[in-house]
């Protein structure tokens, strides 16, 4: 049955894992990169005619708040002033989204390589080795970028708090005018992005162990405890392994064309085993 074959269960597990990583990366960058928010304040001047009771202020990813400006009444006739928010959180936000996008692209690429270039992936253990290094790097990057983004988000929340924004409006500094907050921005989307950032860190960090097992280093270290394990393992693996895989694929096609299974049962361990099945 299918579950008896390690390659198939490994493959299914591998692809489910990569799909999960891709999906969580998409959630992380979509919730952050797709965000738009609005807050609304009111400026109620003593001379009612110049009041504006509904000043909407829109902002979005990448949170260059110093570039977000709005018009507020000065409460002196019809004169108005242009007020800008404070702060630039684009570096943290863009860093987070960039890591998420690259994590997604890597998961996608790894899936394609795994499905279509299985032989290349296994060749000289190159695939698992690269996968291990990239996974460690991405885990670290997820942790750093999620932390940076979480900090930036808490600052963005302060900078776009309607009560804080009122302090920037000149008219609000005069006691006789009344300023108020109509509504603040919704944060659920951005809170979700931070949660997904740390969730991605946990997933990738947990994945380090599974990728480490794929490299076979834990077995290699046990087999060659004294000397240089990598060099020995390399010279030992390189030629017989490659030949084995070539024989195997050759054996399969020849077997289909000619139907001589007895000849191929002599070739090697794994091949003869699969032919007996
Ligand atoms: C109030 O400010 C908004 C901008 O948020 C503007 O579109 C609107 O025309 C202003 N209303 C008045 C009465 O000036």
Residue 4 banded pLDDT, cuts 50, 70, 90: low
The reply to whether the predicted model has a pTM over 0.85 is no
Beta carbons of 256 and 275 less than 8 angstroms apart: no
Beta carbons of 176 and 46 less than 8 angstroms apart: yes
Determine which helix (DSSP H) or strand (DSSP E) holds 80, and give its type and residue range: strand 80-84
* pLDDT attached to residue 269: 39
Measured in Å, residue 56 CA sits from the centre of ligand 1 at 8
Would you say the C-alpha torsion 84, 90, 91, 93 has a positive or negative sign? positive
Q: Which residue has the higher pLDDT, 147 or 77?
A: 147
52 Cβ below 6 A of ligand 1: yes
- Taking the domains of the chain in order of start, what are their residue ranges? 17-216
Nearest-angstrom CA–CA distance, 123 and 115 = 14
3-state secondary structure 172-225: HHCCCCEEEEEECCCCHHHHHHHHHHHHHHHHHHHHHHHHHHHHCHHHHHHHCC
DSSP 226: S
Percent of the chain with pLDDT strictly greater than 90 = 60
125: left (phi over 0), alpha (psi -120 to 50) or beta: left
Determine which helix (DSSP H) or strand (DSSP E) holds 29, and give its type and residue range: helix 6-33
Q: What is the pLDDT of residues 141-174, one digit of tens each?
A: 999 999 999 999 999 999 999 999 999 999 999 9
* pLDDT attached to residue 51: 95
Nearest-angstrom CA–CA distance, 166 and 150 = 25
Residue 187 is encoded by which pair of tokens?
A: 């944060």
Nearest to 111 by CA among 27, 28, 19: 19
Q: Give the orientation angle of helix 6-33 with respect to helix 188-215, to 10 degrees.
A: 150
Q: What is the pLDDT of residues 196-232, one digit of tens each?
A: 999 999 999 999 998 898 887 777 655 444 444 444 4
Measured in Å, residue 163 CA sits from the centre of ligand 1 at 19
Q: Give the number of the atom of ligand 1 that is nearest the alpha carbon of residue 40.
A: 5
Percent of the chain with pLDDT strictly greater than 70 = 76
Highest mean pLDDT among 20-24, 120-124, 246-250: 20-24
* pLDDT attached to residue 114: 84
Q: What is the pLDDT of residues 122-136, one digit of tens each?
A: 788 888 899 999 999
Residues 6+ apart with CB under 8 A from 149: 32, 92, 93, 95, 96, 193, 194, 197
Beta carbons of 2 and 67 less than 8 angstroms apart: no
DSSP 47: S
Would you say the C-alpha torsion 60, 65, 67, 72 has a positive or negative sign? positive
- The answer, yes or no, to whether residue 252 has pLDDT greater than 80, is no
Measured in Å, residue 55 CA sits from the centre of ligand 1 at 6
75 Cβ below 6 A of ligand 1: no
Which of the listed residues 43, 71, 83, 180 should we mutate to test ligand 1's pocket, taking the one with most ligand atoms within 8 A of CB?
A: 71
Nearest to 40 by CA among 173, 193, 186: 186
């Amino acid at each position: 049955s299918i579950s008896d074959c390690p390659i198939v269960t490994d493959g299914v597990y591998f692809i489910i894992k990569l799909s999960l990583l891709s999906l969580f990366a998409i959630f992380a960058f979509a919730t952050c990169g797709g965000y738009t928010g609005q807050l609304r304040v009111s400026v109620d001047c003593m001379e009612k005619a110049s009041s504006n009771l509904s000043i909407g202020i829109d902002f979005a990813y990448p949170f260059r708040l110093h570039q977000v400006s709005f018009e507020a009444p000065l409460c002196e006739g019809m004169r108005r002033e242009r007020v800008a928010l404070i702060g630039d959180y684009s570096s943290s936000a863009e860093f987070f989204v960039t890591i998420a996008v690259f994590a997604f692209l890597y998961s996608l690429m790894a899936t394609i390589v795994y499905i279509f270039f299985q032989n290349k992936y296994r060749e000289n253990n190159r695939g698992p080795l690269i996968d291990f290094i990239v996974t460690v790097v991405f885990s670290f990057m997820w942790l750093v970028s999620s932390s940076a983004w979480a900090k930036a988000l808490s600052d963005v929340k302060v900078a776009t708090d309607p009560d804080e924004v009122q302090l920037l409006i000149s008219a609000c500094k005069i006691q006789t005018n009344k300023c108020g907050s109509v509504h603040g921005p919704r944060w659920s989307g951005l809170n979700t992005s931070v949660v997904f950032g740390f969730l991605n860190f946990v997933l990738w960090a947990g994945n380090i162990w599974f990728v480490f097992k794929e490299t076979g280093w834990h077995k290699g270290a046990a087999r060659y405890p004294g000397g240089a394990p990598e060099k020995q393992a390399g010279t030992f693996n390189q030629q017989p392994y490659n030949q084995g895989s070539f024989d195997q694929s050759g054996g399969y096609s020849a077997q289909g064309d000619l139907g001589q299974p007895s000849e191929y049962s002599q070739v090697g361990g794994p091949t003869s085993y699969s032919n007996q099945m």
